[in-house]
């Protein structure tokens, strides 16, 4: 066998091993998934757990089908999803803009520092009632909840990343006579993309919290409303159905952010 | 009056508890096309002086004039190379080398062609769409050199640009930088703590003493060494002679600490 062929053989073996490992991981992931739902179903039918409280996958599935056919699920999901995506984008965008403003003016950042700490420490959810009264019990106030919950933490994390950009990158640009805006655009912002992306990932979760709590408080539509309604009429199948749907869509949003990460960070 | 004139420069660093004099009484005249090295122990204010010349910091007293103009103004025609390449990792090599003209708004087709030709001259081919981390340390520093030259600066400031490289790459790059600067008749200042590098590359070596940094002594590199490439110069008898002289002078500075 000539050496080139041998290398190719070894490479093929390597790929085979890699695929095998991959398949193994997928297998166990699927196993956990199936085991979870089967045991849940079984435990519910055998009354090992209270079927009223914990419902069962089959009942949730049936409810899903009814809700899909009467169109109420799509409507509720659409509303919540819109609110969450808007809140998420708004929170991240405003947070990043605020961070940019603080970077722009070191004086402002020093002045605002204690206020940021206070605002960050305060539970934003507690602002819910005020927001709802101020903006009305509608989409606006719930989007505001989704945004407000992530805005301050985004500002703090992104601003820290802006400040920690290696000063020598700025030095390079300054020797070319770069303005502060050019420094920001060419070095500070792109250097901070990895941090901004990881903030996005955190914000996906936060926005869902904000929006669901907002719907608890005010709404007559949406998944948060479905949960509260299910709780009030003691229909925990409805609660669990909403919860599962939230889990699925939160994951999808997270995946979308990862896709964006791949596009944005080309040199990674 | 020279091409670059440093006129009575003083600088002090302040903290809450102390005022540290960094530079005292710096007077230098550098002619066009000259290659000058700043040699000295670390902490003698060499990099501070370079930043002052580049107009990045304002000296407490005195001024730096390039071609009759204060270097503090933007568009001063100064190129700065740092200890590491500091190529932007998120930009391709092409974007990296064209960042200078892009920033100062002179980017056009002619400059682009010229810069790409320079890259070719540095024996960097087929790297335009690569990212910096795909290149070796020596290649990256050559790209950084092209980036610095892209704006066609009148004066080049080199802040230990070879210190992060392995010995062989460093020797090769010294030759490349030296021949490139000679071809384009560039004026350059090299900051280094490597005596050999200073002798091999420059026309004049300025020895700094520390705390506060001031010019301790000036050594003229003999004419016959200047004409050689840095690599050849290192093997010339005159090189060793000067090396010994500077070495002794550096040693005599140490007890002052």
CATH classification at residue B47: 3.40.50.300
Of A80-94, A159-173, B9-23, the one with minimum mean pLDDT is B9-23
Q: Name the DSSP letter for residue A186.
A: I
Q: What mean pLDDT do residues B18-22 have?
A: 76
Lowest-confidence pick of A174-188, A205-219, B30-44: B30-44
CA distance B196 to chain A (A): 27
Best-predicted range by mean pLDDT (B199-213, B216-230, B240-254): B199-213
Q: Kindly state whether residues B250 and B208 are assigned to the same domain.
A: yes
Nearest to B208 by CA among B31, B50, B78: B50
Least confident of A104-108, A255-259, B115-119: B115-119
Q: Is the pLDDT of residue A183 over 70?
A: yes
Q: Which of B126, B153, B180 marks a domain boundary? A: B153
Judgement on whether residues B163 and B57 belong to the same structural domain of the protein:
yes
In terms of CA atoms, which chain B residue is nearest residue A177? B74
Mutate which of B90, B105, B130, B143 to disrupt the A interface (most A C-beta within 10 Å)?
A: B90
A110 versus B72: which is more confidently predicted? Answer: A110
pLDDT higher for B201 or A240?
A240
Residues B219 and B131 in one domain: no
- Tell me the pLDDT band of A267, cut-offs 50, 70 and 90: low
Which residues fall within 8 angstroms of residue A29, CB to CB, at 6 or more apart? none
Check A175 against B79: CB less than 8 A apart.
yes
B198 and B235 together in one domain = yes
Would you say residue A36 has pLDDT above 90?
Answer: yes
Residue B257 scores a pLDDT above 60: no
Model confidence band, residue B41 (pLDDT cutoffs 50, 70, 90): confident
Give the whole-number percent of chain A exceeding pLDDT 90.
41
Minimum Cα–Cα distance from A188: chain B residue: B88
Distance to chain A for B79, nearest Cα, Å: 7
Query: How remote is the C-alpha of B105 from its chain's centroid?
Result: 24
With an 8 Å Cβ cutoff, are B82 and A172 in contact? Answer: yes
Alpha helix positions (H), A46-105:
51-54, 57-69, 72-104
Element (H, E) at B205: strand B204-209
What is the per-residue pLDDT for A27? 94
Average pLDDT over residues A35-59: 91
Range of the domain at B121: 90-153
Q: How many CA atoms lie within 13 A of B4 on its CB side?
A: 27
- What distance in Å separates the CA atoms of residue B184 and residue B155, rounded to the nearest whole number? 11
**Do residues B167 and B187 share a domain?**
yes
B84 part of a folded domain: no
- Beta-carbon contacts of B228 under 8 Å, excluding residues fewer than 6 positions away, are B236
**B88/A265 touch (CB, cutoff 8 Å), yes or no:** no
Q: Are residues B30 and B147 in the same domain?
A: no
CA-nearest residue of chain A to B157?
Answer: A175
Does the residue B225 lie in any domain? yes
Query: Do residues B165 and B242 share a domain?
Result: yes
User: Are residues B123 and B186 both part of a single domain?
Assistant: no
Q: Which of B153, B175, B198 finishes a domain?
A: B153
Structure confidence at residue B156 (pLDDT): 85
For residues A89 and B206, the model is more confident at A89
Confirm or reject contact between A172 and chain B (CB < 8 A).
yes
The total number of structural domains that make up chain B: 2
Instruction: For residues B236 and B162, state if they share a domain.
Output: yes
Shared domain for B162 and B114, answered yes or no, is no
The dihedral region occupied by B88, where left means phi > 0, alpha psi between -120 and 50, and beta the remainder, is beta
Specify the pLDDT at position B223.
Answer: 73
User: Does the CB of B111 have a partner CB in chain A at under 8 Å?
Assistant: no
Question: Do residues A182 and A63 make contact, with C-beta atoms less than 8 angstroms apart?
Answer: no
B185 shares its domain with B244 = yes
For residue B128, tell me if it sits in a domain: yes
Which pLDDT belongs to residue A104? 92
Q: Does residue B232 sit in the same domain as residue B162?
A: yes
Please check whether residue B125 lies inside any domain of the structure: yes
The residue from B153, B175, B207 where one domain ends is B153
Give the model's pLDDT for residue A240: 92
- Residues listed for chain B: 257
Query: Tens digits of per-residue pLDDT, B205-214?
Result: 888 877 777 7
Tell me: pLDDT of A71 over 80: yes
Domain annotation covers residue B60: yes
CB pairs under 8 A between A and B: 52
B chain contacts of residue A176, beta-carbon cutoff 8 Å: 99-100, 103-104, 151
């Amino acid at each position: 066998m000539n050496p080139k062929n041998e290398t190719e053989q070894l490479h093929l073996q390597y790929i085979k091993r890699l695929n095998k490992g991959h398949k193994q991981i997928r297998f166990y992931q699927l196993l956990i998934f199936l085991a979870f739902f089967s045991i849940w179903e079984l435990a519910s039918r055998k009354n090992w757990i209270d079927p009223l409280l914990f419902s069962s996958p089959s009942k949730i599935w049936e409810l899903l089908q009814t809700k899909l056919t009467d169109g109420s699920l799509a409507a509720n999901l659409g509303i919540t999803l819109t609110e969450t995506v808007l809140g998420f984008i708004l929170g991240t965008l405003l947070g990043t803009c605020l961070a940019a403003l603080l970077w722009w003016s070191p004086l402002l950042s020093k002045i605002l520092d204690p206020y940021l700490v206070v605002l960050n420490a305060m539970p934003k959810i507690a602002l819910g009632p005020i927001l709802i009264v101020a903006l009305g019990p509608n989409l606006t106030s719930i989007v505001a909840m989704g945004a407000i919950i992530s805005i301050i933490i985004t500002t703090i994390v992104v601003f820290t990343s802006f400040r920690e950009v290696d000063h020598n990158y700025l030095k390079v640009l300054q020797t070319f006579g770069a303005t502060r805006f050019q420094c920001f655009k060419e070095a500070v912002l792109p250097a901070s993309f990895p941090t901004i992306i990881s903030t996005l990932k955190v914000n996906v979760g936060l926005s869902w919290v904000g929006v669901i709590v907002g719907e608890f408080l005010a709404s007559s539509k949406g998944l948060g409303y479905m949960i509260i309604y299910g709780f009030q009429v003691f229909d925990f199948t409805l609660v669990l159905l909403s919860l599962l749907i939230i889990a699925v869509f939160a994951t999808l949003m997270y995946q979308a952010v990862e896709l964006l990460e791949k596009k944005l960070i080309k040199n990674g | 009056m020279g091409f670059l004139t440093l006129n009575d420069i003083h600088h002090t660093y302040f903290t809450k508890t102390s005022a540290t004099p960094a530079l005292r009484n710096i007077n230098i005249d550098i002619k066009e096309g000259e290659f000058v090295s700043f040699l000295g122990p670390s902490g003698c204010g060499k990099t501070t002086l370079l930043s002052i010349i580049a107009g990045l910091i304002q000296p407490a007293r005195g001024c730096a004039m390039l071609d009759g103009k204060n270097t503090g103004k933007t568009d001063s025609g100064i190129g700065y190379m740092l200890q590491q390449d500091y190529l932007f990792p998120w930009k391709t090599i092409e974007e990296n080398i064209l960042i200078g003209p892009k920033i100062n708004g002179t980017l056009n087709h002619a400059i682009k062609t010229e810069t790409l030709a320079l890259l070719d001259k540095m024996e960097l081919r087929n790297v335009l769409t690569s990212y910096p981390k795909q290149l070796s340390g020596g290649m990256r520093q050559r790209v950084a050199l092209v980036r610095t030259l892209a704006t066609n600066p009148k004066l080049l400031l080199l802040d230990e640009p070879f210190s992060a490289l392995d010995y062989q790459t460093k020797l090769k790059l010294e030759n490349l930088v030296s021949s490139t600067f000679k071809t384009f008749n560039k004026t350059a200042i090299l900051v280094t703590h490597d005596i050999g590098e200073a002798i091999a590359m420059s026309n004049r070596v300025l020895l700094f003493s520390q705390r506060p940094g001031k010019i301790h002594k000036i050594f003229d590199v003999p004419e016959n060494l200047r004409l050689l490439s840095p690599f050849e110069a290192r093997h010339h008898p005159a090189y060793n002679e000067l090396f010994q002289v500077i070495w002794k002078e550096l040693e005599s500075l140490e007890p002052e600490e």
